[in-house]
Amino acid sequence: MRRIRKASQPETWRTRAWRGAGALAALAAVAWGLVLAGVVDLPGRAERAVAEAGARGGLVIRDVLVTGRAQTEAEDLRRAVGAEKGAPLLAFDPVSAQRAVAALPWVSAARVERRAGGVIAVALAERVAVARWAEGPGAPPVLIDAQGTPIVAADGQFDDLPLLMGLGAPEEAGTVLALLAAEPGVARRTAYAERISRRRWDLVLTNGARVLLPAADPAPALARVLFLQDREKILDTPRARIDARREGEVIIRDRMP
């Protein structure tokens, strides 16, 4: 930190040295700016020399400011940014750092930049997990976002999120998630939703019953099922097969084979 000298204080050698270092840092910053602007092209050795000259003049990394981090592991982010306190500020490449940060699994967008005072600013936008997805029974589930993008292995995290199964389920997750959100009573009964032949959804209930929904417009089909549930409690039958794929009808088998 620069010390404020009183006007009556005589100039000392240390003050002169500090001013010389400041001038060196200023020259290094100007040179580096010309490199970044493409005005001059320095070989790698010269670039390092400019960065080191700036560091001797006080142009070093003093702090890393991170905003937007919630799920990303701090150590993973630190490695991706690669900014160490005390390292030459001009040697830090924010473009490469931003690319590395954006590649982290939870990160959907990132911005990394140098700021005045030796600060490296890192701003993140993270994905939001909306469901767990497994290819099939016994397969390890992964978290997915609203676009169906896999994020990380669930590993016991977010067990309260809906579980989806089957190939093609992430890409069509929005349809079944909206269906369950509109019918919270069904959502509470549902163990998982299974994508069948990449075309349609089955809802597998916690008691083993299975509700077969049509490929097109499943909401009216589920409404027919719930109408019968109110009258006959069809969802309460363990391992029942409730076929609502045909418009206007619901076929019920008491127990699946």
What order do you get walking across the sheet with 107-115 strand by strand? Answer: 63-67, 119-126, 107-115
pLDDT at 4 over 70: no
Q: What is the pLDDT of residues 189-220, one digit of tens each?
A: 999 999 999 999 999 999 999 999 999 999 99
Is 3.30.360.10 the CATH number for 131-253?
Answer: no
pLDDT at 13 over 70: no
Q: What is the mean pLDDT of the chain?
A: 82
pLDDT at 180 over 80: yes
C-alpha of 201 from chain center: 27
Q: What is the pLDDT of residues 66-91, one digit of tens each?
A: 999 999 999 999 999 999 888 888 88
pLDDT at 33 over 80: no
Q: Which residues contact 177 (CB under 8 A, 6 or more apart)?
A: 130, 131, 162
The predicted structure's pLDDT at residue 98:
97
pLDDT at 65 over 50: yes
Q: What is the pLDDT of residues 14-23, one digit of tens each?
A: 333 334 444 4
The whole-number average pLDDT for the span 223-250 is: 95
The predicted structure's pLDDT at residue 50:
46
The predicted structure's pLDDT at residue 30:
44
- Pairing mode, strands 210-212 and 241-243: parallel
Domain 60-126 and domain 131-253, same fold? Reply is no
Q: What is the pLDDT of residues 127-151, one digit of tens each?
A: 999 999 999 888 999 999 999 999 9
Query: Which two structure tokens, joined as six digits, stand for 83?
Result: 């900014």
Q: What is the CA radius of gyration of the chain?
A: 30
CATH of domain 60-126: 3.10.20.310
Q: What is the pLDDT of residues 144-173, one digit of tens each?
A: 999 999 999 998 879 999 999 999 999 999
In the chain, where the domains are located: 12-59, 60-126, 131-253
- Are 193 and 202 in contact by the 8 Å Cβ rule? The answer is yes
Residue of higher predicted confidence among 33 and 216:
216
